[in-house]
Chains A and B, each alone.
Chain A
């Protein structure tokens, strides 16, 4: 794919937009459609597109495997520890209302944001990892 100019330039144009759109879906999920899962898939798809066009070696340099492995577990860890923090602050597990002393709704807001971030990190890392595994096997 490296020899074709139009896909390469198209990728260069599209990639920042895809990643930006993924971040928008991630952090705007409270207000519009979307959330961590969809954002993670879009974010991962951006890297998969890069790997398809520029080759697996460039993609490995951009998003190394060790970082992905950390990402896979980090997302679940963030999610679970948000629940634990709620437990420590005197609420139930995964009850975000206690995260803010003044207004439970603010706590809920913060909790949902963090939890969705965890989901997004895990899902995007998983998508790219699976793609690397399949693409690397064929060589």
Chain B
């Protein structure tokens, strides 16, 4: 809530960092250590630095929007929220051993992965071997993102310096 109310974007970035750190500890409590690791290093660490870098390039004050009617956005948000809440009724209760997620793939992974892969960390074997295509796709997405950033932000410096040369 504070992140929405605040107009000082520097504080907003810091709040998001703290939020990421808190959710990382929440993941630890849920026994998802790998996810917590990612959240702590990416969410709380690197992305905060990138946000601060962006603020240094632009401005750290949010522009106050011109007055507009809040009725239509409020209606859309309310309907979407109600639809989402309606969707949660079908979600099986958390921690119930009879949940479908515990019965099909997970059982097979946990029982067969020590023989098939021979690696104690099942998360790694699922991520890198059973779901190898998926992780290859993710790596390609990171690769593409870097190229996109280089095209948008990195190339501009070269163009500017070339413009400076004739002076």
Task: Show the binding face of A for B, using Cβ within 8 Å.
Answer: 25, 29-38, 41-42, 44-45, 48, 52, 72-73, 75-76, 79-80, 83, 94, 96-97, 104-106, 108-109, 111-112, 115-116, 118-119, 122-123, 125-127, 129-138
| 22 A-B residue pairs with CB within 8 Å | A31-B119, A31-B120, A33-B37, A34-B34, A35-B124, A35-B127, A35-B128, A36-B128, A37-B138, A52-B49, A73-B143, A79-B136, A79-B139, A80-B136, A108-B119, A111-B129, A122-B142, A123-B139, A130-B50, A136-B154, A138-B53, A138-B56
Q: How far is the CB of B100 from chain A (nearest CB, A)?
A: 26
Between B42, B127, B142, the greatest number of chain A beta carbons within 10 A of the residue's beta carbon is seen for B142
Per the bound structure, the CA–CA distance linking A129 and B150 in Å amounts to: 8
The verdict on B62 contacting chain A, using a C-beta distance below 8 Å, is no
In the assembled complex, the CB of B96 is this many whole angstroms from the nearest CB of chain A, namely: 25
- Given contact pairs A30-B124, A31-B120, A116-B128, enumerate 19 new A-B contacts (beta carbons under 8 Å): A30-B120, A30-B121, A35-B124, A35-B127, A37-B138, A45-B46, A72-B146, A73-B143, A79-B136, A108-B119, A112-B119, A119-B139, A126-B143, A129-B150, A131-B50, A133-B149, A134-B53, A136-B157, A137-B157
Chain B residue numbers with a CB within 8 Å of A122 are 139, 142-143
Chain B residues in 8 Å Cβ range of A44: 46
Q: What number of B residues sit within 8 Å (CB to CB) of A?
A: 46
> B37–A34 contact, CB under 8 A?
yes
**Set A73, A118, A129: member contacting B149, Cβ < 8 A:** A129
Indicate whether B38 reaches chain A with its CB closer than 8 angstroms: yes
Do the beta carbons of B116 and A105 come within 8 Å of each other?
yes
Are A83 and B136 in touch, CB under 8 angstroms?
Answer: yes
B139 engages A35 (CB within 8 Å): no
Complexed CA–CA distance, A122 and B57 (Å): 25
Any chain A CB within 8 A of the CB of B153? yes
Nearest Cβ in chain A — how far from B135, in angstroms? Answer: 7
Q: Are B125 and A112 in contact (CB under 8 A)?
A: yes
**Cβ of B132 < 8 Å from any Cβ of A?**
yes
Given contacts A108-B118, A111-B129, A116-B128, contact A138 B38 (CB under 8 A): no
Contact assessment for B136 and A131 in the assembled complex, using a CB-CB cutoff below 8 Å: no
Which of A127, A131, A138 counts the most chain B CB atoms within 10 A? A127
Docked pose: A127 CA to B45 CA in angstroms? 11
Report the Cα distance A17→B149, complex, angstroms: 29
